[in-house]
Amino acid sequence: MTLAFALVAVMTALVAFGVLSFVWQQHFHTYTRENIQRIASNTASQIATRFDRDSGWYDGALRAAEEATSFSPGVGIQVVSSDGSNLYDSTRREGVSDISLIPLDANSIASAPIQVHGQDIGTVRVWVYGSDTLLTDSDQKFRDNSYQAMVFAALIAIVLAMLFGVPFARSLVNPINRISRAAKSFGEGDLGARTLLEGDDEIAQLGQTFDRMAESVEKDRELEHRLTTDVAHELRTPLMAIQSTVEAMIDGVFEPDAERLDTVNSEVQRLSRLVDAILKLSRLENRSTPLNRQVLDVGDIVSALVSTHQAFVQDSGLDFDSHTEPDLYVWGDSDLLRQAVANLISNAVRYTPEGSISVSAMREGEMVCITVADTGIGISEEDVKMVFSRFWRADSGRNRESGGLGVGLALVKEIVDQHDGRIEVQSVEGQGSSFTILLPAYDAKDASGGRRRGRENDRLGESTFDEAWDEDWGDEAH
């Protein structure tokens, strides 16, 4: 980084040198030539004035050339009459009596005619000693000093760039190194590694993003560990019950009667439901099962679910009411949407000791909203952020008869996501929760056919849901 700063300074100096050279070559030479031409023109004008006044060359006209020579050191002046006679030459004045030092190249000479009453009586020629570009000694010194100043400024710029580049490079590289070390530690298994960067610059934001990612991965790992414990416990309990009952029947302790076989059968069904819950969520997440999409009337789906769950909710000692608006059409899979709403209802029943549960469906703008609200134990503000995570429960020690594995709401969210919708939750701990599914409304011109098909599917699914309402789907912490 420091070297980059120095290279930038060098490039800046080179650009400045190039610009300065261009200015000298294209503009300053023109400026100096104009100055010399101005000397020639002024001298010619002075000579013409005095010639007209004195009616001749030698009474004072050529004195103007001498005066111009004395005021312009390093400049040669020659005055030639109209017939070609050399009337004045500043080089001869300096001791060269018979040889003029005037350049042979006409481009190195500035000349101006001497005119009196519109008639040319001679010419003034001006040149610079030792320069074919009409640069005087002062001009050359100025040019050389300019280049020296540029070299000096470039050296200062390089030194300053290195002095400021070192701390800047360190301030830039240090947080990058922190991110690199944290990423390396994280990759080696230290899930607690964090950058702990603060600030609003891009690197700090990168570090903060890494920290958030690391926290998410760490939480997922904790959930996986909890899942291992939960699954082991959940599978072990029915397996031990089956094993102990079967061994007792084999040993002759229990008679293989209907009661014992019913116990084994119930435990097998419980084990099957646990495995089925995990498989269904996995299939949804992997998109291995295509959706059977069709036009559905959400009102019909909700009404059918309310009907099938009425007895279950009332047997739990809760009030159950519903409200649906007509013509709420969506494009989706009837079985999956029924399952999502059934999960929310079952979840509400599990965590509502007393009070009521309500289900509503209505249209809000371009979305169809399905809301399941309860007056249960609620969810804390911190736990709301995790409520849709797989295998998560607010209280890991909660009684599993009501807690379950923790896949119900994760399953609901996956179903809603596959229908291009979203799910929202509002909850106050100790007062209850409200889950709302929002799905894009279907605005086809003729949705009656889809409505009829939706009703048929609802009727076909009523019997299965009568038997499956108590399955372990609505097992999220509430």
pLDDT tens digits, one per residue of 57-97 = 776 778 888 887 777 777 888 888 888 888 888 877 545 45
- Per-residue confidence (pLDDT) for residue 135, from 0 to 100: 60
- The pLDDT value recorded for residue 362 is 94
Give residue 398's pLDDT: 45
Kind and range of the H or E run holding 349: helix 334-350
pLDDT at residue 270 greater than cutoff 80: no
pLDDT on residue 399: 44
Reference 64, options 92, 34, 31, 87; nearest CA is 87
Answer whether 17's CB lies under 8 Å from 150's CB: yes
Amino acid at 330: V
Q: How far is CA 342 from CA 142, 178, 466, in A?
A: 92, 48, 11
Residue 426 has pLDDT above 80, yes or no: yes
358 confidence band (pLDDT: 50, 70, 90)? very high
Kindly give the pairing relationship between strand 432-440 and strand 422-428. Answer: antiparallel
Is 39 exposed, middle or buried, given 0-12, 13-18 or 19+ CB atoms closer than 10 A?
Answer: buried
Query: Is the model's pLDDT at 455 over the cut of 80?
Result: no
The pLDDT value recorded for residue 402 is 47
Distance CA 143, CA 232 (A): 89
Do residues 390 and 280 make contact, with C-beta atoms less than 8 angstroms apart? no
For the chain, domains (ranges, CATH) are 2-138 (3.30.450.20), 202-284 (1.10.287.130), 292-468 (3.30.565.10)
pLDDT of residue 26: 64
Query: Does residue 472 carry a pLDDT above 50?
Result: no
- Please provide residue 62's backbone torsions phi and psi, each rounded to the nearest 5 degrees: -75, -15
Distance, in Å, from the CA atom of 42 to the CA atom of 44, rounded to the nearest integer, reads: 5
Average pLDDT over residues 284-299: 80
pLDDT of 458 higher than 50 = no
pLDDT (0 to 100) of residue 329: 94
- Largest Cα–Cα distance in the chain? 158
pTM for the whole structure: 0.47
**Lowest mean pLDDT across 45-54, 56-65, 238-247, 465-474:** 465-474
| Residues 477, 383 contacting (CB under 8 angstroms) | yes
Q: Report the distance separating Cα 75 and Cα 230, nearest Å.
A: 104
Question: How confident is the model at residue 394, as a pLDDT?
Answer: 56
Q: Which helix (H) or strand (E) holds 362?
A: strand 356-364
Please, what is the angle between helix 137-187 and helix 2-23, to 10°?
160
Q: Could you give the C-alpha distances from 395 to 202, 233, 387, 392, 472, in angstroms and in order?
A: 38, 16, 12, 9, 17
Using the predicted structure, report yes or no on whether residue 257 has a pLDDT greater than 60.
yes
Across the chain, mean pLDDT equals 78
Cα–Cα distance measured from residue 145 to residue 131, given in angstroms and rounded to the nearest whole number = 18
Which range among 118-132, 335-349, 377-391 has the greatest average pLDDT?
335-349
Coil/strand/helix, residue 54: helix
Q: Any idea which residue has 């031409």 for tokens?
A: 37
pLDDT score, position 457: 43
At residue 361, the pLDDT reads 94
357 neighbors 373 (Cβ within 8 angstroms): yes
Higher local confidence (pLDDT), 142 or 463: 142
pLDDT class of 331 with cuts at 50, 70, 90: very high
Place 450 in a pLDDT band, splitting at 50, 70 and 90: very low
Q: What is the rounded distance in angstroms from the CA atom of residue 358 to the CA atom of residue 323?
A: 8
Question: 132 falls in which pLDDT band (50, 70, 90)?
Answer: low
- What is the residue-wise DSSP string for 87-142? EEEHHHHTT-SS-----S-GGG-EEEEEEETTEEEEEEEEEETT-SS---HHHHHH
